[in-house]
Amino acid sequence: MIRIRMELLPGGYDREEDNELLGEIFIDNDLTTSLSSGGRLGTYRARIFKKQRGHVWRVVYLKNFPRKSYHPWEMLRRILNQAAEGNGGHI
């Protein structure tokens, strides 16, 4: 699983007590595609939360992602693009 946190750091990175959580993304692999492709491809589910974890804002599925050919930042870019498509291009 991959977790991405977005935080506002009003006092800078060294003042953690002032940080405000803006959102999180949890990305997990379903394992079936990875196993059937010998680990080359992965199918992922990304759950995007705004502010608190209790409320899922968007769920995005990324199928047959060439996990050994691209960096995880490419995975995140594709997930964010899909999330924006369902919202008029805005996240």
Percent helix, strand and coil across the chain, each to the nearest 5? 25, 40, 35
Query: Do the beta carbons of residue 7 and residue 23 sit within 8 Å?
Result: no
Is-above-0.75 flag for pTM?
yes
Dist. CA 79–CA 8, nearest whole Å: 21
pLDDT greater than 80 at residue 73: yes
| pLDDT, tens digit, 9 for 90 and up, residues 9-21 | 887 766 777 788 8
Where residue 40 falls among pLDDT bands split at 50, 70, 90? confident
